[in-house]
Amino acid sequence: MTDSRTTDMLKAQLDTPCLVLEAELLDQNIRAMAQWVASGNKRLRPHAKTHKCSVLARRQMEAGAVGVCAAKLSEAEKLMDAGLRGILVTSPVAAGRIDALAEAAKRDPGIMGVVDCPETVRCLQEAAQRKSVRLKVLVDVDPGMGRTGATVEGGIDLGRFIRGCSALDLVGLQCYAGHLQHLPSYAERCARSRQALQAAARVFRQFQEWGIANPIFTGSGTGTYDADCEIPELTDLQAGSYLFMDAEYRQIGSAEDPLRFRRFRPALTLLATVISANQPGHVTVDAGLKTLFPGRVPPEILVPDHPGLSYEWFGDEHGKIVCAAGAPKPALGSRVELVVSHCDPTVNCFDRYYVIRQGRVVDVWPIDLRGCCW
């Protein structure tokens, strides 16, 4: 079995390493976030950079999402190929890609980009005029991370400048606090995120004063989604990882943190096989750095099947399953199921998800945005 995978098989028969999705947990996560967001009178515009899969984007929309986000224009183009519309590209577009963004607006006038400086605004205006399109633009506001985004004052100035551009439509602002999503303390994480969004809300209120109709204020992530909903001005959440839950997000949870234990379950796992078992205290599996991207915490071995085991990276191609004293050593040829460490770049290494119900492969979904990084 190489590329021509069928759905007429058991999970236990899949070649490893491979990514599997437990359909029931996935549906539950999709519903849980949709319900949470609706209950706070917010909208969900989840990030496709996490799953890189147009089938999943569509399922999120069917469950109530108002749209999806893409990190790069090439991701948005793939989503458009699959029929999705109104995509928000959350990274400022590179200089060489501005014409392509204007081209994309011909296919979908609803596509949205973000800007954080006057120079890019000028380039967008020129490209839109050259291509005879209008471009929807959000101001990117820096949450104090220094990665992309203008200051609050700068964001207001930028909004004013965009309003003066004949081919651009100012539709809102973005403030994404990526640096806070994995802070270990729930209280600190939420407090700092609220503080960043509260500051950015000034830009939103200015846009309202200017009479911008229903401006978008998008931000938030899986680490702070609940606290962020307390910001009245925030309109859209762009969380992504809630869909899968990886070991990094599970690890930051604590008893006081509703995130970890209650709402979202690990829907995405990686299957690996023991290929060497010559050592007393560990075995070697066929999944290493190329298939389990190294995040802040190691992949989590799913219990109850494997008590006393832990995963350590063992080079590009292999993983080490360390057995605590007294833990039974997995047999040669047996399988280990792992919650991946950091889901986004791990998913980006694979071409497909195997969708599982009751131990059977019920579907195969292409990771059709994989590798789209430009």
Residue ranges binding a copy of itself (CB under 8 A): 1-2, 13, 15-18, 49, 71-72, 74, 77, 91-97, 100, 116-117, 119-120, 142, 146-151, 154, 178, 273, 275-279, 282, 284, 286-287, 289-291, 293-294, 314-318, 320, 332-333, 342, 344-345, 348-351, 370-371, 373-374
Identify which of residues 42 and 51 has a Cβ nearer to a copy of itself in the complex.
51
**Shortest Cβ distance from residue 281 to a copy of itself (Å)?**
9
**Shortest Cβ distance from residue 70 to a copy of itself (Å)?**
10
**Shortest Cβ distance from residue 140 to a copy of itself (Å)?**
8
**Shortest Cβ distance from residue 12 to a copy of itself (Å)?**
9
The Cα–Cα gap between 209 and 202 comes to 11
The Cα–Cα gap between 299 and 289 comes to 11
- In eight-state DSSP terms, residue 257 is -
Identify which of residues 1 and 213 has a Cβ nearer to a copy of itself in the complex.
1
Identify which of residues 267 and 287 has a Cβ nearer to a copy of itself in the complex.
287
Q: What are phi and psi of 29, to 5 degrees?
A: -65, -45
| Rounded (10°) angle between helices 118-131 and 152-163 | 20
What is the 3-class SS of 78-95, one letter each residue?
HHHHCCCCCCEECCCCCH
**Shortest Cβ distance from residue 332 to a copy of itself (Å)?**
6
Identify which of residues 208 and 314 has a Cβ nearer to a copy of itself in the complex.
314
Identify which of residues 41 and 278 has a Cβ nearer to a copy of itself in the complex.
278
**Shortest Cβ distance from residue 302 to a copy of itself (Å)?**
19
Strands 352-357 and 335-339: unpaired
Q: Residue 32's CB: how many other CB atoms inside 10 A?
A: 16
The tokens describing 189, both together, are 């994480």
Identify which of residues 229 and 252 has a Cβ nearer to a copy of itself in the complex.
252
Cβ-count burial of 177 within 10 angstroms (0-12 exposed, 13-18 middle, 19+ buried)? buried
The Cα–Cα gap between 117 and 205 comes to 20
